[in-house]
A and B are shown apart, each in its own frame.
Chain A
């Protein structure tokens, strides 16, 4: 009984002190009240709310404050896309700049069928750790390591691992770009969603070695270069690169590629490309 009284007494005393301070704080809060711009609240409600940091600010609250201060662009929220850009422009009373929707593309097809492992990796399950270990566990030292750093970091759950290669679900991807920064191989690229013709290889090794490393590696044969009507595809550093600004998405480069590493994402949607074997073994 005595103990209980003691405990209750302690609680009451501490509670009393707490109430006293609370009262003082309440008075101080009234005295030092700062008028918050109501537009901040409105902007905060209109952005994606993912706190992904793609805008360059420390979370959505900081971004909202920066937009109202006029520091950040109303189209700065990439995950929110054109919808939130429009809403923000309305709140801020400026004309909406059109936002080109972007999507992350994993430029690698080096799945378990196409790339041979060089050694069994049994360390920390992270691409950064594995990739830095003598060129990584896969035969190709340019491609996807396959341990899913990007999967872990994607704030929207848009990336999954399929047969050892990261695959982006382009309907879920908001184009925030977090995965681009996290991939140690730099194989993920932000591209306009309508840029559907993509070279899915970053292998810079010379042709013969590239072909040995991966069944779908770009060997730098320049057939695509010769075929392109607008000269938008160029082999640079042993790997074909498409200039998205001039590419007309005609797809002329796709059938001529002997390694099947140029892909049209429009056609790709229905088929299970990554589990599919390349047609001819080059």
Chain B
């Protein structure tokens, strides 16, 4: 198989089969918290994409050029959190300056990207699965695009729920969790689609 096809398949597997929310169950907090409106969901997805892509890039260098030579690889969790926290700060400053309305809409969830387990999950998985630099960044970028896809789909459904008649005990989060479960089952259909490739 040519390397280009391999990379393409890897990208698709990141978005669909290894979707961070539906098959790894990482990043569920913003998935439920910021999926009320499609607009803010897109904003959150893009912010997460940005942070995840850059975090994959930086943690690769931090791990292989700082932690490995100093034989401090056991510090990877705390070092990665440091990288992610700094990146989130930069993203926050950038958004505050250039897109104040998006900054306001994301609210508390923006600083909470710091503790978004999907971001830390990507960086740790890059190391444990032994991805090289290209694959790490692709994993970060397309994994986050999978997150974007999931959160936008969820927001679309939840916008429609606003006008739907729902039994009182199911209103709000319960019905959202039911929907998240159903969507997860739907995404199960993609599993093994790229088996043996990625």
- List residues of A whose CB falls within 8 A of some B CB: 9-10, 13-14, 17-18, 21-22, 24-25, 28-29, 32-34, 58
Contact = CB atoms under 8 A, between A and B. Distances in A.
Interface in B71-130: 72, 75, 78-79, 82-83, 86, 89-90, 93-94, 96-97, 100, 107
B19 to A, nearest CB: 30
A202 B104 CA distance: 42
Most chain B CB within a 10 A radius of its CB, from A14, A17, A58: A17
A278 to B, nearest CB: 39
Contacts of A25: 86, 89-90
A14 B77 CA distance: 11
B32 interface: no
Main secondary structure of the interface of B (DSSP, over half): helix
Contacts of A24: 86, 90
Interface string B47-84: 00000000000000010001100101001001100110
B62 A28 contact: no
Contacts, number: 42
9 contacts: A13-B66, A17-B66, A21-B83, A22-B86, A25-B90, A28-B93, A29-B93, A34-B96, A58-B107
Q: How many of chain B's residues touch chain A, expressed as a range?
A: 10 to 19
A7 to B, nearest CB: 11
Given A14-B78, A32-B94, A34-B100, 10 more contacts: A13-B75, A14-B72, A17-B62, A17-B79, A21-B86, A25-B86, A25-B90, A28-B90, A28-B94, A29-B93
B82 A32 contact: no
B79 A32 contact: no
A22 B86 CA distance: 8
A14 B82 CA distance: 9
A14 B67 CA distance: 9
Contacts of A17: 62, 66, 79, 82
A28 B90 CA distance: 7
9 cross-chain pairs, A with B, having the tightest CB-CB distances, nearest first = A32-B93, A21-B86, A32-B97, A28-B90, A34-B96, A25-B89, A13-B70, A34-B97, A13-B72
A281 B94 CA distance: 72
Contacts of B97: 32-34
Most chain A CB within a 10 A radius of its CB, from B79, B83, B93, B107: B93
A27 to B, nearest CB: 10
A25 B75 CA distance: 22
Nearest to B86: A21
Contacts of A10: 72, 75
Contacts of A21: 82-83, 86
A58 B67 CA distance: 42
